[in-house]
């Protein structure tokens, strides 16, 4: 591990201690196999995972999904199939050159954290108004979204348009730039607006320990952060944002929390 990676990993552990808030426990992730197709007309499989890292293939309930779709290089979205409790695998033939976006979002969920009579901190599903026992610590509404990028044909320099997720990580450089040793710019959007001063985390498949992140950097005032991957393979990028609510909403929950992931392949 390089000295830069060691500092990045330390920063991630300091900012996101285990159990800090509900979003830090699980992430929604979209995965493709393969992430790169040599030419149009070949097949790829998509799936979703609900867990703690790239190697965690935890299943999730289809009823929890607000959106699960694939967006073509021309920006046309088509729904993907999801049923029951699974990873919701879809096998597709991708006929257009360019970048396909596999996108997913969970329905918002409100959780209220309370201290019980013994002083143990627990959570209850639902807003503060529904809590009948325990002392309320805080409540938050959580949004989770995920995206995977599939490159079909020769990688091009053109950037990718946002897919309209509630929280989204958008590469500002096209797939021709997704190579080891090169800077890749990512912009974080929350509800369509740039998210400034948010911590962007990244790691690659095979990094140890599995649930750690090897790269951490803060976004600037435009929500942009630069990652320079040194390892080829599948990379996962994540951002978490939490914002205070106000007015009548505060009576139900105190924070809006957003967790977004992006999965893509970095070439040598």
**What are the boundaries of each domain within the chain?**
3-266
Average pLDDT over residues 196-216: 93
Token output for 156? 């091009």
Strands 121-125 and 109-115: antiparallel
Q: Tell the burial category of 1 from Cβ atoms under 10 Å away from its Cβ (0-12, 13-18, 19+).
A: exposed
Do residues 171 and 157 lie in contact, with contact meaning Cβ atoms separated by under 8 Å? no
Bridge pairing between strands 193-194 and 199-204 = unpaired
Position 17 pLDDT exceeds 50: no
Q: 260 pLDDT band (50/70/90 cuts)?
A: very high
* % pLDDT > 90, the chain: 85
Whether 14 shows a pLDDT value over 70: the answer reads: no
How does residue 21 score in pLDDT terms, banded at 50, 70 and 90? Answer: very low
Q: Are 25 and 51 in contact (CB under 8 A)?
A: no
Q: Tens digit of pLDDT for each residue in 94-103?
A: 999 999 999 9
pTM: 0.89
């Amino acid at each position: 591990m390089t000295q830069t990676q060691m500092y990045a990993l330390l920063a991630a552990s300091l900012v996101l201690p285990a159990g800090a808030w509900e979003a830090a426990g699980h992430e929604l992730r979209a995965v493709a196999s393969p992430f790169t197709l040599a030419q149009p007309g070949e097949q790829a499989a998509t799936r979703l995972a609900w867990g703690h890292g790239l190697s965690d293939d935890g299943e999730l309930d289809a009823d929890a999904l607000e959106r699960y779709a694939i967006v073509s290089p021309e920006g046309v979205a088509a729904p993907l199939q999801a049923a029951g409790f699974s990873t919701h695998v879809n096998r597709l033939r991708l006929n257009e050159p360019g970048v396909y976006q596999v996108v997913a979002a969970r329905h918002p969920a409100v959780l209220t954290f309370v201290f019980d009579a013994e002083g143990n901190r627990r959570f209850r599903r639902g807003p503060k108004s529904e809590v009948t026992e325990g002392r309320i610590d805080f409540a938050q509404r959580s949004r989770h979204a995920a995206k995977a990028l599939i490159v079909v044909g020769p990688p091009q320099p053109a950037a990718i348009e946002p897919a309209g997720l509630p929280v989204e990580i958008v590469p500002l450089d096209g797939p021709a730039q997704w190579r080891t040793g090169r800077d890749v710019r990512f912009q974080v959007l929350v509800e369509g607006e740039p998210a400034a001063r948010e911590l962007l985390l990244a790691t690659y498949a095979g990094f140890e320990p599995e649930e750690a992140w090897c790269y951490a950097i803060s976004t600037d005032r435009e929500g942009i952060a630069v990652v320079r991957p040194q390892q080829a393979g599948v990379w996962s990028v994540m951002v978490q944002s939490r914002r205070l609510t106000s007015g009548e909403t505060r009576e139900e929950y105190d924070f809006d929390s957003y967790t977004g992931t992006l999965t893509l392949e970095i070439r040598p």
